[in-house]
Structure 1
Amino acid sequence: MHGVRVLIAPDSFGSSLTADEAADVIADAWRAVAPDDDVLVCPLSDGGPGFVATLHRALGGSLVPVAVSSPVGAPVPVVFLRVGTTAYVESAQAVGLPLVPAALRDPGRTTTRGLGELLAAALAGGATRLVVGLGGSATNDAGAGALVGLADGLGVGGLSPQLARGGAALADVTTDDLAGLRSLRDRLRGIDVVVATDVDVPLLGLQGASAGFAPQKGATPEQAQALERSLADFAHVATAALGDAVRPDLMAGARAASATTRLTTAPGAGAAGGLGFGLALVGGRLVPGSAFVADAVGLDARIADVDVVVTGEGRFDWQSLHGKATSEVAARALAHGVPTIVLAGEVLVGRRELSAAGVTAAYAVAETPEGVRAALEAPASTLAARATRIARTWSR
């Protein structure tokens, strides 16, 4: 009897397991239960942690080491992937939440300056195309710090150091602080900047950078509200500083009648604390990170050749339905008529939402607070135990 053909295609499980590690744990557990099944692995990324590693595996190329500033100003070693004249950059390496000690997690003060330094280094290495993965950041500064780091690295003046002091400092920014923004945009003309975002949320609003994500980076509800106002002020001043360099989309109706509105409401503008918006200011094109990676690794062809797909992440919640790898896998599997199983540390999405997303079944590693703590203490073994039970259910 032929076994089941299974594709294991997870994202990382937060900071507990990389996508590679999670895929291997699930695959090993499945093979132990059903040795006759054909189990294939395809680790994924949505633009957040693991972006460079996933693309390196799929595309080859060389990893180039660089030292940049962390979100709190400490030096941190990072790498970018060079494939020809394209540089693939992972923002989480420079501005990721694990880089900030718990006691220092304050998204009003953390900065994206290090990402700008990383982009400048990639350009200095001869890149004519930048692909920037966004996600997993400790920041909430709308990319203002990254603009400063990039401008300084390229020798473009006219951007105030205040922009690199965190999101809270943006409340006092003026057009004088951004006098060099147009020059920076001009300097990047001819550079294809692709911004692969992990979520499709806007810069502002209830599901934007501040209200939707700042609390998980250490912000109190009051801070999140203050950051929302600061980012709105920065967005207005930044687009005013660019003037007619960023023209409004007059064909999009009244809601998009200004350049500020068009950029702040763009899907992905709120990714990584608003980094999507900041990079869009200098000509970046926002694209869904999970779709970009899925195309790069040939996910459709892999799905078409199996009987069932297992995907997963640390927490399957409302964010997962806004551009995360799990929802991308489910959508593509649905198109091929292949069932999708989601295996996550926690599942916080109801059956109706799961069905709408194309998910056949979702299983949580932990279902109680005690279970969550146990999973965090021993992520590999608890994931393996859950994967074992799933394999017994789904294998012939």
Structure 2
Amino acid sequence: MAAVVLALDSFKSSIDAADAVEALREGWVSVDPGRELTLLPMADGGEGTLEAFAAAVPDAVRMPVTVTGPEGRRVAASWLLLPPAPGTPDGTAVVELASTSGIELLGSPPRLRPLDAGTRGFGEAIAAALAHGVSRLVLGIGSSASTDGGIGMLTALGARFTDAASGPITTGGRGLRSLAAADLSGLPPLPAGGVTVLTDVTNPLRGDRGAAAVFGPQKGAGQDEIALLDAGLGRLANLVDVDPDTPGAGAAGGTGFGLLAWGAGLVPGADAVAELIGLPEAVAAASVVVTGEGSFDGQSAAGKAPDLVRALARDAGVPVVLVAGRIAADADASGFAHAISLTALAGSGAAALAEPARWLFAAGAELARRFPA
């Protein structure tokens, strides 16, 4: 009997992808201990990207690093070293913005800093990976805490952003309002294998669909602050030879734009992660595939991991199941052989959020009974 593939994304602010698939596995084997289960936790570039790679890639090594967090304090983080591909001398580094400059680092509930949080820590982790000598960078840029256009990251890598008096601007989006000059000549060359940026959004840098307008409120920005940030991003765009309307330039508070300025390439995060962990091949050989995320809603069909897994399973003719913390009324759940809401299992959203592993275990047990070997 072919394996069951468990390919869930993280349940944001509840349980990461690796722990989610493990809880589901434990529930399944409690009913059917002999079933072969393949665990391939998913990610789209945001929180949990490192864990997804670490769980799916044999011999991946966590490399500890201490960086400047989004509050300006030093925080312990890590990047992931993947073993070299055949014919290449050095490995690939996976660096995650979420664990170095992400909103999760601001506490729970988060101490939001819409004008002052920055991306310097992300750049410091990238610099550490380059210093190690990797031949390729894979950068996940979801879950950011800031709207600084990536200037913190670029500064950590050697760029200079100055005001009219040729002094360094302040950190965060607040510094953009005094930006007068940008010097990118100090940036290091890209590694031989290039820089691949994983993102799940296609927003431009500025405007009604831009970084400040769409994502600023999630980071604590009010209308006046949104206007200030958008204008600052405009100043940055006028100084850097990159099209601010490039899809994904507005990702992670404009960090996508900053990475484009360095020469990196932006790709849909879920697709790239799937290829790197061998998901298409695993799905094609499976008997059943299970996917999911914390909130499956109307946006889940726009490049999110569950929609990608559903498409892969459909193309392979393999039944696919959805397990989500909640399934919204506007969600398109067509194409799934079965769907389980942890909120329905637990009796409330609060109960599901409080004990996600418990209810994922229950979901796994239910699926083992529904899809016997």
- Sort the TM-score into its range (normalised by shorter chain): 0.7 to 0.9
The gaps in structure 1 that reach 5 residues or longer are 240-258
For residues 11 and 140 of structure 2, the distance between their equivalents in structure 1, rounded to whole angstroms, comes to 17
CA distance in 2, matches of 1:209, 1:133: 17
Aligned to 1:363: 340
Shift of 1:111: 0.3
User: 1:222: Cα distance to partner?
Assistant: 4.8
Higher mean Cα deviation, 5-14 or 68-77?
5-14
Measured in 1, the distance between the counterparts of 2:297 and 2:124 equals 33
Q: 1:173 and 1:279 mapped to 2: Cα distance?
A: 18
Match in the other structure for 1:321: 301
**Structure 2 counterpart of 1:237, from 236, 239, 247:** 239
> 285-294 or 165-174, which moves further after superposition?
165-174
Code of the aligned partner of 2:319: P
1:333 aligns with 2:313: yes
**Among candidates 181, 190, 205, match of residue 203 of structure 1:** 205
Is 1:114 aligned to 2:121, yes or no? yes
Q: 1:250 aligns to what?
A: none
Residue number in structure 2 paired with 1:141:
148
State the partner residue of 2:86.
none
Which residue matches 2:356?
379
Matched, 1:73 2:53: no
* Bigger share in helix: 1
Aligned to 2:14: 16
In structure 1, distance between residues paired with 2:336 and 2:248: 23
Q: Distance in 2 between matches of 1:395 and 1:273?
A: 46
CA distance in 1, matches of 2:9, 2:233: 29
C-alpha contact (below 8 Å) 1:111/1:164 kept by paired residues: no
Q: Are the counterparts in 2 of residues 354 and 360 from structure 1 also a CA contact under 8 Å?
A: no
- 1:59 CA drift (Å): 4.8
With 21-30 and 162-171 compared, the bigger mean Cα shift is at 162-171
What CA distance in whole angstroms lies between the structure 1 residues aligned with 2:12 and 2:328?
15
Distance 1:90 1:308, change over 3 A: same
Structure 1 counterpart SS, 2:300: helix
Residue number in structure 1 paired with 2:25: 27
Relative to structure 1, is the Cα distance of residues 184 and 364 closer, same or farther in structure 2, using a 3 angstrom cutoff? Answer: farther
Of all paired residues, the percent bearing the same amino acid is 38
Equivalent residue of 1:109, what SS? coil
Q: Is residue 310 of structure 1 aligned with residue 264 of structure 2?
A: no
| Cα distance, 1:232–1:333 mapped onto 2, change above 3 Å | farther
CA distance in structure 2 between the partners assigned to 1:268 and 1:59 by the alignment? 31
Paired residue secondary structure (2:77): strand
> Would the aligned equivalents of 2:46 and 2:143 in 1 still touch at CA under 8 Å?
yes
The residue number in structure 2 matching 1:188 is 189
Deviation at residue 103 of structure 1 after TM alignment: 5.5
C-alpha distance in 1 between matches for 2:305 and 2:20: 14
Q: CA deviation at 1:163?
A: 5.2
Cα distance in 2 between the residues matched to 1:370 and 1:109: 40
Instruction: Identify the range of structure 1 (358-367 vs 13-22) with the bigger mean alpha-carbon deviation.
Output: 358-367
Q: Which of 254, 272, 278 is the aligned partner of 1:274?
A: 254
Equivalent residue number for residue 44 of structure 2: 46
Q: CA deviation at 1:143?
A: 1.0
The Cα RMSD (Å) is: 2.8
Kept in 2, the 8 Å contact 1:340–1:360? The answer is yes
1:60 shift after superposition: 2.2
Per-residue CA deviation, residues 124-161 of structure 1 (Å, 9 max, x unaligned), is 2223422211112212222121111111xxxx556567
Q: Does 1:91 align with 2:63?
A: no
Displacement of 1:205 in angstroms is 4.6
Matched residues in 1 for 2:68 and 2:248: separation?
Answer: 24
Instruction: Describe the SS at the equivalent of 2:348.
Output: helix
Q: Tell me: CA distance 1:159–1:363, structure 2 relative to 1, closer, same or farther (3 Å).
A: farther
In structure 2, stretches of 5+ residues that fail to align are: 84-89
Q: May I ask how many residue pairs the two structures share in their alignment?
A: 360
Q: Is the 8 A contact 1:375 1:382 kept in 2?
A: yes
In the TM superposition, what whole-angstrom CA distance separates every residue of 1:66-90 from its partner, at most 9, and x where no partner exists?
1110011110111122342432211
Shift of 1:93: 1.3
- CA-CA distance at 1:336 after TM superposition: 0.8
Q: What SS is found at the alignment partner of 1:212? A: helix
**Cα–Cα, structure 1 residues 163 and 52, in superposed 2: closer, same or farther, change >3 Å?**
farther
3-state SS of paired residue (2:134):
coil
Contact 1:148 1:163 in 2 (8 A): no
Distance 2:233 2:99 in 1: 23
Tell me, yes or no, if the aligned pair for 2:104 and 2:110 is still in contact at 8 Å: no
Q: 1:181-204, CA deviations, whole angstroms, 9 ceiling, x for partnerless residues?
A: 2x035x325652221223333333
Q: Is the CA contact 1:365–1:375 (under 8 Å) kept in the aligned structure 2? A: yes
What is the CA-CA distance between 1:375 and the residue it aligns to?
2.0
Q: Tell me what 2:137 maps to.
A: 130
Kept after mapping to 1: 8 A contact 2:283/2:313: yes
